[in-house]
Amino acid sequence: MASSNIRQAVWAGKFYPASAQGIRKIISGFIGDSQKPKIDAFACMVPHAGYVYSGKVAVETISRINIKEKVILFGPNHTGIGADFAVAAKGAWLTPLGRLDIDTKLAVDLLESSGYLKDDLSAHAQEHSLEVELPILQYFRNNFTIVPIAFMSDDFNALRKIGEDIAAVIKKNNLQDKVLLVASSDMTHYESQKQAETKDKKAIEAVLNLDPEGLSKEVAGNNITMCGVSPVIAMLSAAKSLGAKCAELVKYQTSADVTGDRNEVVGYAGILVR
């Protein structure tokens, strides 16, 4: 395999510890004694800030799930590089906890079944929103393949169709019990604690109602700076097509829980979709 298809852990030592030992230590600390029984889920939504800020929300959420053998990752494209809907269709991603191979067959099936998805590694080269989820997933399961998708457009109809197309591929290949959908998003950015809580409650309610259109309208209508609204819309559309019936808020907090600064916070929510 060409080395250019091996993606290094670009954000190790920045968003999360650079060593396997450091990652395991911080994640085990977030779990504490609060671990609950694992459930089968179609999907989840988790934040992607530095572990010190949002790791507890992400870890508590992912710790509740039976992680399946294939994980499709839905994340926002913060870099502005690459296609609107970019799939990393080949190679492998490295983290301090090891190598994760891309499920090329599943990725190609998705590309062939969708008129929107494009094979574009450049969109993923420096993007953090999906990389930071991987060590948390690896902590709980060390053998799964991935299909990373980066979303830059907020075209609602395209996002809904992408979700439905992904679900159709999963059903066509009888992968319902083998695929987990993981959407990566932070919530309100750099507003007061009170404003963030008020706005984020509206967006979270739409996600809990499995209402992608409602989420799109709430985010636009209330100027909610939820960076991953597009991947969450696609994920919800896919999960509903696969038969999801309910969702559960595992945890919500803001950066103020860590920094103490309630004047300018970022919100983080962890949600299970079943």
pLDDT tens digits, 26-63: 999 999 766 688 999 999 999 999 999 999 999 999 99
- Give pLDDT, residue 32: 74
pLDDT tens digits, 60-73:
999 999 999 999 99
- Give the residue-averaged pLDDT of 217-238: 98
Query: How far is residue 159's CA from residue 153's CA, in Å, rounded to a whole number?
Result: 8
Query: How far is residue 230's CA from residue 163's CA, in Å, rounded to a whole number?
Result: 11
| Cα torsion through 100, 72, 170, 121, rounded to 10 | -80
CB-CB contact of 142 with 110 (8 Å): no
| Cα torsion through 36, 18, 183, 269, rounded to 10 | 60
pLDDT tens digits, 251-265:
999 999 999 999 999
- Give the residue-averaged pLDDT of 199-222: 98
- Give the residue-averaged pLDDT of 90-107: 98
Query: How far is residue 73's CA from residue 268's CA, in Å, rounded to a whole number?
Result: 18
Domains of the chain are: 3-273 (3.40.830.10)
Token pair listed for 57: 């929300």
- Give pLDDT, residue 36: 80
pTM metric for this prediction: 0.97
Order the strands of the 98-101 sheet from edge to edge. Answer: 6-7, 92-95, 98-101
Mean pLDDT of the chain: 96
Token pair listed for 54: 């949002």
Helices (H) and strands (E) in the chain, counts: 9, 12
**Per-residue pLDDT at 1 exceeds 80:** no
Query: How far is residue 247's CA from residue 273's CA, in Å, rounded to a whole number?
Result: 4
Query: How far is residue 263's CA from residue 256's CA, in Å, rounded to a whole number?
Result: 8
